[in-house]
Amino acid sequence: MIDFTTPMGDQLHVRLRAAADAAPVIADDASGATVVLRHQDVEALAHDRRLAGVGLAVFDLMGITSGPLRGWYGGLMFTNDGPPHDRLRSLVSRAFTPRAVDELRADTAAMATELSRPVRADGGGDLVPAFARLAMRVMCRLLGVPDDDVDGFAAWADALSPVFGMMDDRQIAAATTAIDQMLAYVDDLASRRRRDPADDLITGLLAVEDGGERLTHEELVAMVANLLVGGHDTTTSQIGCSLLTMLRSPDEAARLVATPDLLTSATAETIRYEPSLPIVPRTTNDLVSIAGHDVPPGSLITLCTAAANREPSTWRDADRVDIARFTRPDTPRLLSFGAGPHYCLGAALARLTVDEVIRSVIIDSPAPMTLTEDPATIPWRMVLGRAPARLSVAA
């Protein structure tokens, strides 16, 4: 049994390999889900319209049948499929463009440099708290939220990150307060931008129109909160996973210093090797046959991207970190951001943020930073994404 509600550190990969060596799919007894392990099956099923997201099934299980949290969550891209999903996605994509993301690179690089500087000045420190706010700062810059309000947004996003799984009563109460406050703030900011446009994503979302369709004010407000919550813990956790991967691979870190053009590929490789999100959950609308196993309609499916990322028959030297891997044209597809209609809308932003963290810690370091503890003994944490709880380094 593999318990995906725990982070598992290196054990995640050990257990997944043992499972995948035995069978292409396994049963998760706790959730009743069929766990899909092979790259080709995960990729094909992510595109398969007979599968849908888990929608509000977890809310039903928790007994949250009405209220602001359910209202918000039920209107997101994650929880909708078919035409309602595609309409939202098409509208948001018109403003949240690769160009809008690219324009953030210089600011993100400056923020990452500023955050790593004290660690270097002190001769070392813990890189986890050092970069804890970076992802939120970058997203707030993109949206047009003033820097002074970043901490408040991070606190709301922290309280809201557990909504993607089972929550206890305390978490439900905290998430409900957070969504009320976050929506009220964004509602006010969007109204101000309507009167007084700025060069930011909220203004861009107000302006989008696609085939005569626009986002309603409520949809826009919910969508901004969707981007903030979807991108906060995932990216923050990936920063930790990616730094751990580079720091425990000193030869590859030295190769990156000598060849900084490999940065984009190095980032993808760290996300393949140590993903913050190991799975993507789905439900079936129809009978689906996976590697000879029939899965009836209404079943839970867990697409295990972490197993797919390291499948030995798909990847050359699957368990080796190779920062040039993603420069080769025959490289398989990285599945950590999903695939198909729900492919992560923030993937370019997440990659850019991780790029700039790796640049500040590895490439721009006058001398290599080194881990001061054995990676095998580092504790892990998990909210939405899994991540090392600390990364103590000497600098």
Q: Could you list the residues that contact ligand HEM (CB under 6 A)?
A: 53, 77-78, 89, 139, 226-227, 230-231, 234-235, 238, 276-277, 280, 336-338, 342, 344-346, 349-350
Cα–Cα distances (Å) from 144 to 47, 101, 202, in that order, read: 33, 13, 7
107-112: long-range pairs with CB below 8 Å, 24+ = 107/138, 107/141, 108/134, 108/138, 108/352, 108/353, 108/356, 109/356, 109/359, 109/360, 111/137, 111/138, 111/356, 112/356, 112/357, 112/359, 112/360
Shorter beta-carbon distance to ligand HEM: residue 301 or 395: 301
Shorter beta-carbon distance to ligand HEM: residue 63 or 83: 83
Kindly state the DSSP code that residue 197 receives in the 8-state scheme.
-
Shorter beta-carbon distance to ligand HEM: residue 161 or 226: 226
Least CB distance to ligand HEM at residue 125 (A): 23
Least CB distance to ligand HEM at residue 195 (A): 25
- Structure-token match 């909210």, residue found: 383
Least CB distance to ligand HEM at residue 217 (A): 19
Judge contact between 280 and 303, C-beta under 8 A.
yes
Least CB distance to ligand HEM at residue 258 (A): 26
Least CB distance to ligand HEM at residue 283 (A): 11
- The dihedral through the CA atoms of 16, 18, 22, 27 has a sign that is negative
Shorter beta-carbon distance to ligand HEM: residue 301 or 378: 301
Shorter beta-carbon distance to ligand HEM: residue 167 or 224: 224
Shorter beta-carbon distance to ligand HEM: residue 108 or 276: 276
Shorter beta-carbon distance to ligand HEM: residue 87 or 250: 87
Closest residue to bound ligand HEM by CB: 346
Least CB distance to ligand HEM at residue 148 (A): 20
Q: Bridge partners of 288?
A: 295
Among 35, 42, 71, 52, which residue's Cα sits nearest to residue 163? 71
Shorter beta-carbon distance to ligand HEM: residue 77 or 159: 77
H or E element, residue 6: none
Least CB distance to ligand HEM at residue 101 (A): 9
Shorter beta-carbon distance to ligand HEM: residue 76 or 395: 76
Least CB distance to ligand HEM at residue 93 (A): 9
Least CB distance to ligand HEM at residue 78 (A): 5
Judge contact between 222 and 91, C-beta under 8 A.
no
Least CB distance to ligand HEM at residue 205 (A): 12
Shorter beta-carbon distance to ligand HEM: residue 143 or 395: 143
What are the strands of the beta sheet with 280-284, ordered from one edge? Answer: 25-28, 33-36, 300-303, 280-284, 51-52
3-state secondary structure of 387: strand
Q: Which residues contact 238 (CB under 8 A, 6 or more apart)?
A: 271, 275, 276, 350, 354, 385, 387
Judge contact between 324 and 262, C-beta under 8 A.
yes
Q: How many residues in the chain?
A: 395
